[in-house]
Amino acid sequence: MAPPFVVSPANPITANTLVAGQWGPSYAVGPSPCAGLQVADVTLSSAQLLALLSTPVTLVPAPGVTGFMINPVGIIIRLIGGGAAYTDVGGAVQFNIGSASFALASNAIFLTTVSPNRAIQRIWNYSVATDTAGNPPTDDNAPLTISKVTNNFAAGTGTCHITVYYTIEPST
pLDDT of 128: 62
Residue 53 lies in a domain: yes
Cut 0.85: pTM above it: no
Q: How many CB atoms lie within 10 A of CB 171?
A: 19
| Angstrom distance (rounded) from CA 59 to CA 63 | 12
Dihedral sign computed on CA atoms, order 11, 126, 31, 63 = negative
pLDDT tens per residue, range 38-75: 899 999 999 999 999 999 999 999 988 888 889 898 99
> Residue 102 sits in a domain of what CATH number?
2.60.120
- Residue at 9 is within a domain: no
pLDDT at 92: 93
Query: Does a structural domain hold residue 28?
Result: no
- 8 A C-beta contact, residue 33 and residue 129: no
107 domain-assigned: yes
- Domain hosting residue 106, numbered range: 39-170
CB 66 within 8 A of CB 136: yes
Written as one letter, the residue type at 7 is: V
Q: Per residue in 105-152, pLDDT tens?
A: 899 888 877 777 888 899 886 556 677 777 888 889 999 999 999 999
Instruction: Answer whether 56's CB lies under 8 Å from 83's CB.
Output: no
Q: What's the number of domains the chain is made of?
A: 1
